[in-house]
Amino acid sequence: MQRSSTRLSLERVSSDKRHAQRGFVWHDTYYFSLFGLLFLAGLTMGTVLIKSGASQYLVDNFSKLTGIVLTNQTTGQGFFYAYYYQCFPLLVTFVVLYFCGTCALSQPLILFVPIFRGLGIGACMGYLYAQYGGKGILYSAFVVFPGAVVGMVTMLYACREAWKFSIHCFRRLSSEDKNEEHAGLSIQKYSARYLFFAVVSLVLLLICTGISTGFLVFFKL
């Protein structure tokens, strides 16, 4: 009798854990979708901005802030310069998001990051289409798109982690429970995830830069 009751208790505990894990995964998916929609909103605003006649100066600055290579002049300066041109803005974005995550009241800034990055990428791609037509679309697909996708996906994951940890910090301020390991969150795990995002981004962007420079022989912009 005691053995059966112990088994039922263990089954109930494992069932509760499965439900908790399901809820946690659902929340992660929800956050990822939210930041993805904000990025798409920024992308749309960027293309509309170009249609309304944005200046060349504005587009050039968006290119530098998002790491989007507008012409083959940048990649013509060498493979490693092109790699640095794409990596540096993304790493700066990670640093900004990391410190935003450690602040209890930085949620509005975290929401702004995907909008701004989408705005910059949308403006740059819209500029390429406006200037070069179909050739600009092909250039975007083979030269710009690979690195932009890597930056977008890793940025969305970084936004999600920053948002969750910022909410965690806010709850710790308003709660008597100051346990840092609550809900499996800690500054060590949070930092390790950002280090992982940075390493993965650097490796993937290295591959994407190689692909992009390989396709440059087909484009003269």
- Taking the domains of the chain in order of start, what are their residue ranges? 12-218
Q: Report the mean per-residue pLDDT for the chain.
A: 80
Residue 103 per-residue DSSP state: S
- Extract the tokens encoding 48: 């509309």
Place of tokens 């009798």: 1
Counts for the chain of helices (H) and strands (E), in that order:
8, 0
Helix 145-174 and helix 107-132, axial crossing angle in degrees, nearest 10: 170
| CA dist 12 → 22, 143, 200, 218 (Å) | 15, 53, 39, 62
Least confident of 1-10, 129-138, 206-215: 1-10
Instruction: Give the amino acid at 28.
Output: D
The C-alpha atoms of residue 169 and residue 46 are separated, in whole angstroms, by 33
- Name the band, by pLDDT with cuts 50, 70 and 90, for residue 77: low
